[in-house]
Amino acid sequence: MYIRKIFGRPGLLAGTALAIAVQASSLTAQELPEEQTGSEVEGAPIVVTGSRIPRPEVESEVPVAIVDSEQILRDAAGNVSDVINELPQVGIGSTRTNTNFLTSGTGIATVNLRALGSSRTLTLVNGRRFISGFAGDSAVDLNNIPIDLIERFEVVTGGSSAVYGSDAVAGVVNFILRDEFDGFQVRAQAGITEAGDNPRYLLSAMGGTTWGNDSQGNIILNFQYDQDEGLRSRNRDISDEDCANLICGPASYSSFAPQGQFQLVDAGGTPVPILPGDVSTFSFNRDNSLAYISNLGAPGYGFNRNNERYISVPIERYLAYAVANYDLGNAAELYGEATYARVLSNSRLEPFALDLLGDIYFRPQDPFGIPITNAFIPDDIAAAIEAANSDADPSNDVDAIGGRRRQNDVFDRSNTVKRETWRAVLGIRGDFTDRIGFDVSYVYGHLVDFNASEDIDNNRYRNALDSIRLGSGDVVGVDIVCRSEEARAEGCVPIDLFGFNTVDPAAAAYVQAVVPKSQEITNEQHVATAVLSSADLFDLWGAGGVGAALGIEYRYDSTVDDLDILTNTGGNSGNTLPDLVGSQDVFEVFGEVSVPLISDAPFFHYLGLNGAARYSDYSTIGSVFSWNAGAEWEPVSGLKFRGRYAVSNRAPNNSELFSQPSETFASVIDPCDGVTATSTGEFDAACRAIPAINSFLAANPGQAFTYTLADTQGVNGFIGGNINLQEETSTTITAGVVVAPNLVRGLSLSVDYFDISIEDAVSTVGRNFTIQECLLTNEPVFCDQVIRFPTGRLQTVNSQLINIAGFDVRGVDAQLRYQTAPGFADDDFFSANINYTYLIDFITQSDPSSDPVDNAGTFGASFSTHRASARATYGVEGISLSWQTTFLSGAPYINPDNFISNNPDVVALNDIDDYFLHNAQISFDPNENITFYFNVDNIFDTKPQYLPGTPFGTPTGLETAPDFDLFGRRYTAGIRAKL
């Protein structure tokens, strides 16, 4: 690398590297070939994440966690997301265990530093940006990172926008890939759970060579194939049936049953109880005989959704990566990278839950359900309708049949995903002068994410439900046909929803959308960067060289989220969704400086200041400014204090800015429903202050202002982006100490306090909450979203993205590292490392009028008070044993202030004990070129705690939290060979 070997001030010994490394002592050896381990090369400047200034040792002014390739191999991980999620600084992002129900993004893996959101974590590869994996977002899909090409990754938590730009408000993850390799290496591994499921396979091959005079050029090619076959919910006892509270089984099954539940209604949608038992609803027994039920949603006639779902979605990956560099002479080097990633996945969802009113029939133009002339209506039901409608009593007339039915025999809504990513880097770096280096690069990224599933055409479905009988038989299409002659000419086949497996395949084919449901996401990114940097620009007064970096950057990001035409027009089973098209660019100027003040003086082995600033001019939000300032003080060698204050920002992304409003008819409640002239409810005075409501009450003494069912069902709303969004801003304070005592070689300890505060965070406000806050506060931020008819009743309640939320996160990180040669045998070694986070506060405030909520001290990777990951390894004569433990302190899963249940047994589920997970690996190197390894994960087969989705809100299909290991004990065996 063309970072000059400049020797600045004395460092904090070799222990500094250990103090910030997760796997101690291996960085220098992995950065450099074996023959280059002399003292001169050990002093070569290295750029560490969090700064663009090259430094004479692997050290940092801010807390950095470093995980190297040996740590990754000891995990036997096929996907680097499994490794990074073990760190206590990382919350749960998108993973294969929580993306089954996403309409796009199935199987994506993202980093969520400090649990502040993946969009607030900046993910880099070799210090440069990577194309996003979501439509219009900035979150990077870690599936695109080839695991055997990783030399190390570095994690900086806290604001780093002054160094790297937008999105780095929670921190930065930087994957440093190998840039030199000579030879050929192959790795193969396979794993399976003790239950005999969720097999995973990995095959990785890497080859590299040098060429030219004095090995001027080097190229590395890497190919990786891996497959994770996923895991069904029904394969684990905890999730094999639908659950709610303490009950699993039929009582908790979905009322959207495969045989249907139906209700007789009048012309206004009101139930008509004319069936035996004075009920209006009916369903079917297993033999398709009629079953009269008390109401829609009655237990015992439902559907077990968990029988269909995934706990973990399958993922198949094809990754190809090339890295090349060439010495041009004259202190310059040309370099490049090329990436191709193809990721395949699919979800597994229960068949669609069709609600006749809302999915097929739309008010006010349609009836409230299936026409009562439908030819498939069961005889007893048809007779009851005929009797009621001919008894000269209009109060019990039936106009339609409403209800719901699972679409098992109609279509499969599970989606398939094909995600392809291309990325190319071209740059030149070298020495501008004998003290100043340069690096100029261009990055191009391109993503195409295609998602497809089956769906219905609701216009065709209405035609198929409007069936009539022409003949005395039951032949569909002959005796029973669609009423509309035009529809029959277009191939309409009548559909029978009454009972189990009653849909004719031809009818199912007809009602399915001619245009399949699809979503094609195209993201594109261009980044051009030029940097001048120096580790020793000049020496002011003998304290050491001033380090500096100065640069410019241009970035362009665009996204197109192209949905099928039926989704665009509301012609299928969902609400109308428009396409997303948006782009933005930014021009930035940035600089950084590190100034030694005193060195090699009593009580001042080193004292220095550092700072950085960045000016950004966005095409969307205008100009923003971010900066940081810090200091380092080493009173004696082996003891360093460090601190920094940083102001960072996150510009709203294309999705947040340009998502077009999509319509929703999700029910809302108007607090004014039922208000009278004298009522004294919390909102009643504000309701009476609305002129239309006040006029109604004055004109109708003694009456209440009320809604009909049609009024309630007609309230719409729009959810979407907001081109008027501004940047989120954050402040980060870090302060800590690094101890690497000279008397205990190989030991280091770092302890750092962090305080991250985010203001004007982009968020939405719930529609019901918006109505309430408008009444109570009359604030435009709420009232602009609420539109009422001239009658005073709600017409539209929107939920638009706005800069309204806030976060405050405080805690302490500690890292302990130790490496030594115990001397039990020749050439043995022992290493131990512990990463620990103590969370003090995790405060969120959804809007300025809401009370702040502190979730610190609840359970999980995001909120447990104490979180840790520890590993110890002993090796001798080519054999090593490594033991890893991760820990989450026990606590309530849901904040007790927000958890409501009248059942003490349900309340007891909320309390979770301390959670330990233990993994181990034994490896054997018969020679320096071959390594065999065997891993056991979750050695003690620790089970997750039962936490049903109702009331705990855990991911659908899990009945527990993704913070636990969901798979059980797993075995993995592998081999790595070098040629």
Q: Which pLDDT score is estimated for 15?
A: 32
- Convert 874-911 to b/e letters by CB count within 10 Å (16 or more is b): bbbeeebebbbbbbbbebbbbbeeeeeeeeeebeebbe
CA angle in degrees (0–180, nearest 5) for 357-360-362: 60
CA–CA gap between residue 884 and residue 969 (Å, rounded): 14
**854: helix, coil or strand?**
strand
Under 8 Å between Cβ of 728 and 758 = yes
Q: What is the pTM of this model?
A: 0.88
The overall longest dimension of the chain from CA atoms, in Å, is: 107
Q: Rounded CA gap, 417 and 136, in Å?
A: 18
Which amino acid appears at position 847 of this protein? Answer: D
Pairing of strands 930-937, 970-978: antiparallel
Half-sphere exposure of 306 (CA within 13 A, CB side): 26
pLDDT number for residue 712? 82
Domain ranges of the chain: 15-232+313-347+417-452+519-652+726-764+803-978, 255-302+353-406+458-511, 658-724+765-800
Contact status, residue 513 vs residue 458, Cβ threshold 8 Å: no
**E strands within 694-746?**
717-720, 728-739
CA distance 884 to 920: 6
Q: How far apart are CA 611 and CA 608, in angstroms?
A: 10
Query: Does domain 15-232+313-347+417-452+519-652+726-764+803-978 bear CATH number 2.40.170.20?
Result: yes
Predicted pLDDT of residue 24:
31
- Rg of the Cα trace of the chain? 32
C-alpha to C-alpha distance for 763 and 806, rounded to whole angstroms: 9
For residues 754-791, one letter each, b for 16 or more C-beta atoms within 10 angstroms of the residue's C-beta and e for the rest, the string is bbbbbebbbbbbebbbbbbbbbeeeeebbeebbebeee
Task: Please work out, in degrees rounded to the nearest 5, the angle formed at the alpha carbon of residue 193 by the alpha carbons of 187 and 195.
Answer: 155
User: In angstroms, how far is CA 425 from the centroid of its own chain?
Assistant: 26
Give the separation between CA 594 and CA 957, rounded to whole angstroms: 52
pLDDT for 55 equals: 66
Residues of the chain with pLDDT under 70: 1-48, 55-60, 363
pLDDT tens for residues 319-365? 999 999 999 988 899 999 999 999 999 999 999 999 998 789 876 77
Amino acid at 134: F
> 286, 255, 285, 282: which is closest to 271 by C-alpha?
282
Tokens of 914: 């301390």
DSSP for 230-277? -EEGGGSGGGSS-EETTEESGGGSBSS-TT-EEEEE-TTS-B---BTT
